[in-house]
């Protein structure tokens, strides 16, 4: 940072004679320490923002360390990390404007820093309303913030009347390592139709999720279980199949197979939380939990293990 073209640097490289600070009337040499620390405007800026946050202002390095390591709420952490850079930039900006014939007082500097901190808070927390625009109130607001937790019961929901739902899940013990996948098909009454679980070999988690869904959709199309809703707890896979995200090369072929099966058929892809996908998750782990277990299919609820029936 001390390589910026401030007076003492220019004098050291003999490009300029000694330069006097243009931001105050102390006739002090424009050194790094003076301009960014002891110059009245700079000192007032540091002290004002540090005092509002309960951070002691010392030298630049010490103050920055205190800002970055201060004990504060999680909501304040990004602001504390940014404020040192914002203050340094504003002090440097004022110096350049003054040097070239313009003016900028401390009040304008504070307004600019407050505005940038407010914008950062809005960007990081777009769901929060009435975020204060001035720093002291912003600190108080973030310190006193308490999220409103709304409990929500997540469970499997049957599809529309006359349709089917295929829940699929895939899992891998590493990326990549041994993996497995499975799917469970039920009708609009919640009646069990078919379950299958597979050993998929060495694959990543996303590859296993995609393979499980492709096998489930293929079974639905082959047995005319349409229209069907494909439900998975993989948000990534859901966004890919709904055209929100691009297709990774590692699953491109599998995605093409799914799109081919979906073509001109009533097939929807929805995301659910893991609690709503417990049956598929159980049968996927049924393979992973028992090394060497062969692929399994269940065509009757009576064939399903006792633990699986509980879901």
DSSP 32-72: HHIIIIISHHHHHHHHHHHHHHT----SHHHHHHHHHH---
Global pTM exceeds 0.85: no
Confidence of residue 33 (pLDDT cuts 50, 70, 90): confident
Dist CA 6 CA 95 (whole Å): 9
Dihedral sign of CA atoms 210, 213, 217, 219 in order: positive
Domains with residue ranges and CATH for the chain = 7-143 (no CATH), 164-309 (3.30.420.10)
Which whole number is the average pLDDT over 43-61? 77
The pLDDT tens digits for 76-124 are 899 988 988 898 888 888 888 887 888 888 889 899 999 999 999 999 9
Residue-level pLDDT at 132: 93
Check: CB of residue 169 under 8 Å from CB of residue 197: no
Pick the more confident residue, 224 or 297.
Answer: 224
Q: Which of 186, 193, 197 is nearest to 287 (CA)?
A: 197
Percent of the chain with pLDDT over 90: 42
Which whole number is the average pLDDT over 229-252? 95
Residue-level pLDDT at 50: 82
């Amino acid at each position: 940072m001390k390589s910026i073209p401030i007076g003492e640097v220019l004098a050291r490289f003999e490009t300029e004679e000694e330069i006097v600070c243009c931001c105050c009337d102390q006739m002090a040499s424009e050194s790094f320490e003076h301009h960014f620390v002891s110059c009245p405007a700079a000192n007032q800026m540091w002290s004002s923002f540090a005092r509002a946050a309960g951070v002691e202002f010392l030298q630049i390095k010490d103050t920055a360390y205190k800002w970055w390591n201060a004990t504060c709420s999680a909501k304040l952490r990004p602001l504390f990390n940014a404020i040192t850079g914002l203050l340094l930039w504003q002090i440097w900006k004022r110096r350049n404007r003054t040097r070239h014939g313009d003016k900028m007082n401390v009040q304008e500097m504070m307004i600019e820093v407050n505005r940038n901190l407010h914008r950062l808070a809005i960007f990081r927390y777009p769901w929060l309303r009435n975020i204060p625009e001035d720093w002291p109130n912003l600190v108080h607001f973030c310190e006193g913030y308490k999220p409103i937790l709304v409990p929500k019961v997540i469970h499997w929901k049957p599809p529309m009347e006359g349709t089917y739902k295929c829940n699929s899940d895939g899992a891998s013990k590493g990326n990549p390592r041994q993996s497995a996948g499975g799917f469970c098909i039920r009708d609009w009454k919640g009646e069990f139709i078919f379950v299958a679980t597979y050993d998929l070999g060495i694959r990543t988690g996303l590859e296993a999720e995609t393979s499980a869904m492709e096998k489930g959709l293929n079974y639905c199309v082959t047995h005319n279980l349409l229209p069907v809703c494909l439900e998975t707890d993989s948000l990534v896979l859901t966004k890919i199949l709904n055209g929100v995200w691009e297709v990774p090369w590692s699953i491109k072929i599998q995605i093409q197979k799914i799109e081919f099966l979906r073509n001109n058929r009533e097939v929807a892809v929805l995301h659910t939380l893991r609690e709503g996908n417990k049956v598929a998750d159980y049968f996927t782990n049924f393979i992973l939990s028992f090394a060497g277990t062969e692929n399994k299919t269940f065509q009757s609820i009576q064939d399903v293990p006792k633990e699986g029936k509980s879901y």
